């Protein structure tokens, strides 16, 4: 049996996924969660083979949780013999937001699959089986979009400054929160705004989110 966990904040959607996948003969749901902050505990207590992970979650987003999971795994000591290492579950992103930027971030963070919620449950079930065999499964239309789109032009610091300046946060507050000088914050904002062809930081943040870069 393939042991899976479902991380989805919408209770109706989570219940539907659990019910439908429970009809598969070789798949069993052994855990569920409604926020990104619960993922580490879910892995520790349930040990799923596969996690179905939404992106838009309360607390940490699905992508943030996935990135942290990968980083924490990379910091663990290497196993002395093959097959005895610290393994993390295969992660399949299942989201409403089929954006090329999200796909790139998810793959860079180690996701093994990326599907949109419009796909039929049969597609999802087969994707679960394929990732347990070591394959990578990506929605074909989204994969084509990702290939045709450019790389994220923003640096990590520019992303941090843009996110921290959401809803018009004062420059001084952003600087204090990120331990930067106000002039440095202004420089990062100016650079990000220019790269995104925006008129101001609010538009820059909106453009970046629309592309899935933030």
State the pLDDT at residue 77.
Answer: 45
CA-based max dimension of the chain: 60
Other C-beta atoms closer than 10 Å to the C-beta of 185 total 24
- Residue 149, token pair as written in the block: 């789109």
Task: Please give the DSSP secondary-structure letter assigned to residue 48.
Answer: -
- The confidence score (pLDDT) of residue 137 equals 93
The answer to whether the CB of 20 falls within 8 A of the CB of 103 is: no
> What is the distance between the alpha carbons of residues 126 and 2, in angstroms, rounded to a whole number?
11
- pLDDT band with cut points at 50, 70 and 90 for residue 73: low
Cα 92 from chain centre = 9
Q: How confident is the model at residue 82 (pLDDT cuts 50, 70, 90)?
A: very low
**pLDDT for 83 beyond 70:** no
**What percent of the chain lies above the pLDDT cut of 70?**
89
Cα separation of 206 and 166, whole Å? 10
Whether residue 162 contacts residue 204, with contact meaning beta carbons closer than 8 Å, is answered with: yes
The pLDDT assigned to 79 comes to 42
User: Do residues 89 and 5 lie in contact, with contact meaning Cβ atoms separated by under 8 Å?
Assistant: yes
**pLDDT at 80 > cutoff 50:** no
Q: What is the pLDDT of residue 149?
A: 60
Token pair of 16 as six digits:
């539907």
- pLDDT for residue 57: 92
pLDDT of residue 74: 59
**pLDDT for 104:** 81
Residues 6+ apart with CB under 8 A from 100: 142, 145, 146, 148, 149, 211, 212
Q: With the CA atoms of 115, 73, 133 and 112 taken in that order, what torsion angle do they form, in degrees rounded to the nearest 10? A: 20
DSSP 86-116: ----EEEEEES---HHHHHHHHHTT-SEEEE
Other CB atoms within a 10 A radius of the CB of residue 197 amount to 10
Say which DSSP state 27 is in.
E
- pLDDT tens track for 60-69: 889 889 988 8
Percent of the chain at pLDDT exceeding 90: 42
CA distance linking residue 193 with residue 205, whole number of Å: 8
* Model pTM score: 0.69
pLDDT category at 75 given cuts 50, 70, 90 is: low
């Amino acid at each position: 049996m393939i042991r899976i966990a479902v991380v989805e904040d919408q209770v109706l959607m989570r219940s539907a996924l659990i019910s439908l996948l429970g009809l598969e003969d070789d798949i069993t749901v052994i855990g569920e969660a409604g926020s990104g902050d619960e993922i580490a505990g879910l892995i520790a207590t349930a040990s799923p083979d596969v996690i179905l992970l939404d992106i838009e979650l309360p607390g940490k987003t699905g992508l943030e949780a996935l990135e942290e999971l990968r980083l924490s795994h990379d910091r663990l000591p290497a196993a002395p013999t093959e097959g005895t290492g610290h393994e993390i579950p295969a992660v399949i992103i299942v989201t409403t937001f089929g954006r090329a930027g999200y796909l790139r971030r998810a793959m860079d963070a180690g996701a093994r699959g990326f599907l949109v919620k419009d796909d039929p449950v049969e597609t999802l079930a087969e994707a679960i089986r394929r990732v347990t065999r070591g394959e990578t499964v990506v929605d074909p239309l989204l994969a084509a979009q990702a290939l045709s789109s450019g790389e994220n032009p923003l640096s990590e610091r520019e992303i941090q400054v843009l996110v921290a300046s959401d809803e018009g946060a004062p420059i001084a507050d952003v600087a204090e929160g990120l331990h930067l000088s106000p002039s440095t914050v202004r420089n990062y904002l100016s650079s990000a705004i220019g790269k995104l062809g925006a008129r101001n930081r609010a538009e820059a943040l909106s453009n970046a989110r629309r592309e899935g870069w933030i």
